[in-house]
């Protein structure tokens, strides 16, 4: 009688699968099919994230696809696994040089020369070091605020170095999502927008002013504030009950319902040391007045990691094998105005872009808090994608202390004269967490596109467009903005003459 351990069988199967996938990735790379090779290497790393050479293989593919930030991240992970791997230093230096990070490239090459063991590898690194030193030094940034953050990196999506990434969502996927939520009773549908890039939400019937067009529940909501429920972001009052996690005491909720929902969806896995790290992160951000938009991606990533691990535990309890596939996000959009823009000056002028080093540091903070080892799906590239997605899919909470990834609200485009307005129904909070109702601001006709205002209602033209250009990289040309621009160009009437 001989019995194999189930865990050993799983490891054996995944290792063999990783070998097969790696060879397939190598063949695709040699054939020049870089996108498919990248996907295949990603599958390998999901099977076995400790294969250091595969990280550098994927980094090489990223370099050839003109995605140096992804290549740099993969090389840094590889060096954690194998600190003397010469190819990782070589490709990391190439990635930094592509991102105008000449000094960083030189530093990494010098580290590599001291770390690698083979003389031939040291000679290769020495040769690249001499070539790198001859590269022109990027001009210093004139803006002190930008220089403070060492903004030597503009991602290829802005600089036009790489091919345009595909839309994350399609009309068919979006309407299937609507059908799953509302069946045949939906007041809205998703179509290609004639006024905006990408998709838009349209009415399927007439809707009277004040009526609820649709309701949306966030995929997840996060906040730094100690005065709100960490599940639904409802603000505590003197009369409200505050419920804390009875085990770790680090999370506070507005009701037992929210506590149970949080525990069932993510907190069961994070309760304990991870919850302590999260609480410290939130406190540091709150005490130092860090703007929510500067840190919500890291907080959201840690929330999603908890949701994913909780789902994995449920799969395991049900006896289902799981190969490391990521938790699927709702059908979100990419930042199309960003992807279509090839002028790097826009990003610099608006201080919108966060450099690679800052995002890598943030990603490492996440790994430290959640105790994450090199992972095949929760890697920097996944975090980078989430960072882009959140830029155009987050809606602020009713009290401006929280931010949510919405599931349907993300399909609403902008107008300074919105025809729908978001409204939080706090009574529903007790039954279904944080429910957001989108209410008709005027009578809506069948086939009319729905808009919300991304800026502050009542703000003047300069404030509105300053926000839209700075955060969303577009200029609004709605009826109100067009009219106000025309009025601003009219000659001013002279005042009464003084006698």
Q: What share of the chain is helix, strand, coil (3-state, %, to 5)?
A: 50, 10, 40
pLDDT-derived band of residue 378, with 50, 70 and 90 as boundaries? confident
Least reliable range by pLDDT among 15-24, 232-241, 339-348, 374-383: 339-348
For 248-371, where are the alpha helices, taking DSSP H only?
Answer: 256-262, 268-270, 273-287, 292-317, 336-339, 344-349, 356-370
User: What are the pLDDT digits (tens) for 167-206?
Assistant: 445 677 667 767 776 666 688 988 887 776 567 889 999 9
pLDDT at 135 over 90: no
What is residue 5's predicted lDDT score, i.e. its pLDDT? 45
Least reliable range by pLDDT among 32-36, 115-119, 126-130, 428-432: 428-432
**Quick one: DSSP state of residue 197?**
S
pLDDT-derived band of residue 467, with 50, 70 and 90 as boundaries? confident
What is residue 136's predicted lDDT score, i.e. its pLDDT? 85
pLDDT-derived band of residue 138, with 50, 70 and 90 as boundaries? low
User: What are the pLDDT digits (tens) for 433-449?
Assistant: 567 789 999 999 999 99
User: What are the pLDDT digits (tens) for 265-278?
Assistant: 999 989 998 999 99
What is residue 470's predicted lDDT score, i.e. its pLDDT? 62
pLDDT at 245 over 60: yes
* Whole-angstrom distance, CA of residue 247 vs CA of residue 229: 17
What is residue 351's predicted lDDT score, i.e. its pLDDT? 36
Nearest to 437 by CA among 448, 455, 425, 451: 425
Higher pLDDT, 278 or 489: 278
pLDDT-derived band of residue 471, with 50, 70 and 90 as boundaries? low
Distances (CA, A) of 288 to 114, 140, 294, 453: 39, 28, 12, 29
For 134-253, where are the alpha helices, taking DSSP H only?
Answer: 144-148, 156-159, 171-182
Mean of per-residue pLDDT scores for the chain: 77
pLDDT at 150 over 50: no
């Amino acid at each position: 009688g001989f019995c194999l351990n189930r865990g050993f069988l799983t490891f054996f199967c995944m290792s063999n699968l990783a070998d097969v996938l790696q060879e397939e990735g190598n063949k695709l790379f040699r054939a020049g099919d870089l996108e498919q090779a990248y996907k295949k290497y990603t599958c390998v790393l999901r099977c076995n994230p400790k294969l250091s050479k595969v990280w550098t293989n994927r980094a090489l593919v990223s370099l050839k696809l003109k995605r140096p930030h992804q290549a740099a991240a993969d090389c840094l992970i590889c060096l954690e696994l194998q600190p003397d791997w010469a190819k990782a230093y070589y490709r990391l230096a190439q990635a930094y040089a592509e991102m105008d990070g000449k000094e960083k490239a030189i530093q990494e090459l010098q580290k590599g020369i001291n770390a690698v063991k083979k003389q031939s590898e040291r000679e290769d690194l020495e040769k690249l070091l001499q070539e790198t030193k001859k590269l022109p030094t990027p001009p210093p940034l004139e803006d002190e605020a930008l220089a403070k953050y060492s903004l030597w990196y503009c991602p290829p999506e802005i600089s036009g170095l790489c091919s345009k990434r595909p839309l994350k969502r399609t009309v068919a996927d979006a309407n299937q999502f609507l059908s799953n939520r509302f069946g045949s009773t939906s007041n809205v549908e998703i179509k290609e927008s004639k006024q905006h890039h990408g998709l838009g939400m349209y009415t399927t019937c007439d809707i009277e002013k004040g009526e609820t067009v649709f309701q949306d529940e966030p995929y997840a909501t996060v906040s730094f504030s100690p005065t709100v429920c960490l599940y639904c972001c409802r603000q505590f009052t003197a009369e409200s009950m505050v419920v804390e996690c009875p085990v770790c005491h680090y999370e506070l909720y507005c009701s037992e319902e929210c506590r149970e929902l949080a525990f069932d969806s993510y907190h069961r896995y994070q309760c304990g040391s991870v919850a302590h790290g999260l609480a410290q992160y939130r406190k540091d951000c709150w005490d130092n007045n860090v703007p929510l938009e500067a840190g919500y991606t890291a907080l959201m990533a840690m929330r999603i990691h908890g949701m994913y691990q909780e789902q994995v535990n449920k799969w395991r309890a049900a006896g289902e094998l799981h190969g490391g596939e990521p938790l699927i996000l709702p059908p979100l959009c990419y930042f199309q105005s960003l992807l279509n823009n090839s002028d790097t000056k826009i990003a610099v002028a608006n201080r919108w872009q966060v450099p690679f080093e800052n995002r890598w540091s943030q990603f490492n903070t996440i790994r430290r808090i959640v105790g994450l080892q090199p992972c095949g799906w929760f890697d920097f590239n996944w975090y980078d994608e989430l960072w882009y997605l959140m830029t155009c899919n987050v809606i602020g909470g009713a009290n401006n202390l929280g931010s949510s990834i919405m599931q349907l609200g993300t399909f609403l485009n902008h107008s300074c004269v919105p025809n729908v307005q978001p409204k939080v129904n706090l009574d529903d909070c007790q039954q279904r967490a944080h429910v957001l109702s989108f209410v008709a601001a005027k009578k809506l006709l069948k086939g009319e596109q729905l808009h919300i205002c991304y800026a502050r209602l009542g703000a003047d033209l300069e404030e509105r467009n300053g926000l839209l250009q700075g955060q969303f990289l577009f200029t609004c040309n709605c009826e109100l903005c067009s009219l106000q621009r025309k009025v601003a160009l009219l000659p001013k009437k002279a005042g009464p003459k003084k006698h």
